[in-house]
Amino acid sequence: MLTIFPLRVVMAQLDFLVGDIPGNTKKIITAALDARDRLRADAIMFPELTVTGYPPEDLLLRPGFVGQVKPAMRRLCAEIQGITAVVGYPAATPEGLRNSAAVIADGRIQAVYHKHLLPNYSVFDEKRYFVAGTEPLVFELKGVRVGVTICEDVWQAGPARRAVAAGAQLLFNLNASPFHAGKSRLRLEILQQRAAENGRPILYVNLVGGQDELVFDGDSQVVNGRGELTQRAPFCAEGLYPVDFSLGATVEPLPGEIAPDLAEEAAIYRAIVLGVRDYVDKNGFPGVVLGLSGGIDSALTLAIAVDALGAERVEAVLMPSRYTAGMSNSDAEEEARALGVNYRLMPIEPAFESFLGILHPVLAGLPPDSTEENIQARCRGVLLMAISNKTGKIVLTTGNKSETAVGYSTLYGDMAGGFAPIKDVLKTMVYRLAVYRNSLSPVIPQRVLDRPPSAELRPDQTDQDSLPPYDLLDAILQGYVEEDRSVEDLIAAGFDRATVERVARLVIVNEYKRRQAAPGVRITPRAFGRDRRYPITSGFRR
């Protein structure tokens, strides 16, 4: 009969501020002592680059920044007692800076692991900063031999295999793995594969929180040596999550709480809410202001802002023009009242008339076109930015990915602002998210979901006067932008040649607009900006 010796390890799924080394150090110490005293843990493991926050980007090129890390590590060694802590940090070595994990116990760093695989794709560019490690690390924890890996190391077979060859009975994996739709399933599949290959349990702890465009969703997981999920932490929530083990012939994680899978809409919505909250709070803004038009995009953005910050920190501005339908104003007011938001009415007609008068020598005798439409959008941008300047609130823009892709937006108009919550959300997903939010409580009028979308910048205008129907447009964008399929591939798949060529051209020629757009929450693997980086000046047209 096996003798059972319990082991408890805490996964610290926490939110850290990039660049705040003193604040992050204090948070690490507080969490470690709480795990020791309240949770009676033997060890605590933190995410990747915990000390600096992730990703620190070119802060790592500043000697003064990297110079703060050593004193922070000395403080961790001095103040974390009675528990083993595995902490991610950048280690300065003779060979160069490394993405590392320190095993801290008994007042000193007992061992250091250097990340083997440095991702240099999508949003990652770690080879710009770090030198790769090559040696496995296995340390002893209450008689158990624990192998350490960092993030990308678990996505390929080599690092885990080397740790097991060095004697590891249990694998720790420290992560800063950003969210995109479907990421939780991918993580679990990789962990199951890696655990089953090696016959070893894996503890996967992930960062949580928003950092500029990125959202880290937590979703920390535990799988046993057969690849079975035994525990999963909640999505987009901070916390300390203890994992218990039985120790005998093998190391076996005991069954723990498995946070439920979320529907795609629920996961995306929560990720955007977290991204908005952290962007506003970490940058010190007292609140947000946004234009509320009575359309679906601004309605969804308002709901996200209120869920992220509370109604008292959100201000809505209704800015009707001569072309705004009465129902748009009434729907916008209903949305604001349903969410408990303070709002003000600021018609743009006087400003629009003034601009037309000033521009009369230029516009006289010429037919109205997008020039007059854009002037209206820019009047609104001026008003919102003035409120932002006076109050300190950041302007949230309300454009979606479909519009951003094809340039259906106005520079310095509806694009004016500091953060774009739904920038990476295709229009068809906007509707799905609105329906999901209404399932929690009805805050977006049904008429807003049913009406044809319109910028209301000319008489009887609808978006589909200028664009293909959104279900068709989004299907083409899914192939062309998200999947990098060619025009000919899409035509072969059954799409109309003229429509595909037009959409592709619009995507290409509007790169200059996207380069000037506000940052926004990333929810897909091909977000404009960090993921999809195309030249503005280019001879490529297909």
What pLDDT is recorded for position 2?
40
- pLDDT, one tens digit per residue, over 340-391 is 999 999 999 999 999 999 999 999 999 999 999 999 999 999 999 999 999 9
- pLDDT, one tens digit per residue, over 60-89 is 999 999 999 999 999 999 999 999 999 999
What pLDDT is recorded for position 539?
82
Kindly state whether residue 431 falls inside one of the protein's structural domains.
yes
Has 48 been annotated as catalytic? Answer: yes
Instruction: Based on the fold, state whether residues 229 and 140 are members of the same structural domain.
Output: yes
Instruction: Based on the fold, state whether residues 378 and 438 are members of the same structural domain.
Output: yes
What pLDDT is recorded for position 542?
61
- Which of 115, 114, 102, 124 is closest to 54 using CA atoms? 124
Instruction: Based on the fold, state whether residues 303 and 437 are members of the same structural domain.
Output: yes
Catalytic annotation, pick one of 27, 77, 115, 282: 115
Count of CB atoms within 10 A of residue 1's CB? 4
- pLDDT, one tens digit per residue, over 424-479 is 999 999 999 999 999 999 999 999 998 877 665 667 667 676 789 999 999 999 99
Count of CB atoms within 10 A of residue 126's CB? 18
- pLDDT, one tens digit per residue, over 495-535 is 999 999 999 999 999 999 999 999 999 999 999 988 888 88
Instruction: Based on the fold, state whether residues 193 and 234 are members of the same structural domain.
Output: yes
Catalytic annotation, pick one of 27, 77, 126, 151: 151
Instruction: Based on the fold, state whether residues 20 and 105 are members of the same structural domain.
Output: yes
pLDDT at residue 196 greater than cutoff 60: yes
What pLDDT is recorded for position 265?
97
Task: Answer whether 136's CB lies under 8 Å from 163's CB.
Answer: yes
What pLDDT is recorded for position 467?
84
Residue type, 43: A
Kindly state whether residue 527 falls inside one of the protein's structural domains.
no
212 torsion bin: left (phi>0), alpha (psi -120 to 50), beta (else): left
- Rounded percentage of the chain residues whose pLDDT exceeds 70: 97
What pLDDT is recorded for position 118?
94
Has 423 been annotated as catalytic? Answer: no
Q: What is the CATH number of the domain that holds 391?
A: 3.40.50.620
Kindly state whether residue 289 falls inside one of the protein's structural domains.
yes
pLDDT at residue 540 greater than cutoff 80: no
Catalytic annotation, pick one of 48, 152, 403, 456: 48
Kindly state whether residue 427 falls inside one of the protein's structural domains.
yes
Task: Answer whether 107's CB lies under 8 Å from 76's CB.
Answer: no
What pLDDT is recorded for position 248?
84
Has 282 been annotated as catalytic? Answer: no
Report the alpha-carbon distance of residue 334 to residue 58 in Å, rounded: 45
135 torsion bin: left (phi>0), alpha (psi -120 to 50), beta (else): beta
Averaged pLDDT, 272-279: 98
Instruction: Based on the fold, state whether residues 392 and 446 are members of the same structural domain.
Output: yes
Q: Tell me whether strands 314-318 and 342-345 are parallel, antiparallel or unpaired.
A: parallel
User: Per the structure, how many domains does the chain have?
Assistant: 2
What pLDDT is recorded for position 465?
65
Give the 3-state secondary structure of residue 282.
Answer: helix
Instruction: Based on the fold, state whether residues 240 and 341 are members of the same structural domain.
Output: no
Q: Tell me whether strands 84-93 and 43-45 are parallel, antiparallel or unpaired.
A: parallel
Q: pLDDT confidence of 328, banded at 50, 70, 90?
A: confident
pLDDT at residue 1 greater than cutoff 50: no
- Which of 385, 402, 527 is closest to 453 using CA atoms? 402
- Average model confidence (pLDDT) for the chain? 93
The angle that helices 349-358 and 370-391 make with each other, rounded to 10 degrees, is 120
264 is written with which tokens? 């795609």
Q: Which one of 254, 289, 311 terminates a domain? A: 254
What pLDDT is recorded for position 131?
97
Instruction: Based on the fold, state whether residues 121 and 194 are members of the same structural domain.
Output: yes
Domain extent for 440:
266-463
What pLDDT is recorded for position 19?
96
Q: Which one of 429, 463, 497 terminates a domain? A: 463
Q: pLDDT confidence of 4, banded at 50, 70, 90?
A: very low
Report the alpha-carbon distance of residue 453 to residue 175 in Å, rounded: 41
Alpha-carbon dihedral sign for residues 89, 526, 509, 352: negative
Kindly state whether residue 519 falls inside one of the protein's structural domains.
no
Instruction: Based on the fold, state whether residues 133 and 191 are members of the same structural domain.
Output: yes
Kindly state whether residue 161 falls inside one of the protein's structural domains.
yes
Instruction: Based on the fold, state whether residues 333 and 242 are members of the same structural domain.
Output: no
**What's the full length of the chain, in residues?**
542
Kindly state whether residue 529 falls inside one of the protein's structural domains.
no
Instruction: Based on the fold, state whether residues 338 and 447 are members of the same structural domain.
Output: yes
Spatial CB neighbours of 392, under 8 Å, sequence gap ≥ 6: 285, 286
- pLDDT, one tens digit per residue, over 380-425 is 999 999 999 999 999 999 999 999 999 999 999 999 999 999 999 9
Q: What is the CATH number of the domain that holds 227?
A: 3.60.110.10
Which residue would you say has higher pLDDT here, 324 or 140? 140
Kindly state whether residue 503 falls inside one of the protein's structural domains.
no
Q: Which one of 414, 439, 463 terminates a domain? A: 463
User: Where are the strands (E) in 248-378, listed by range?
Assistant: 251-253, 288-291, 314-318, 342-345
Instruction: Based on the fold, state whether residues 47 and 190 are members of the same structural domain.
Output: yes
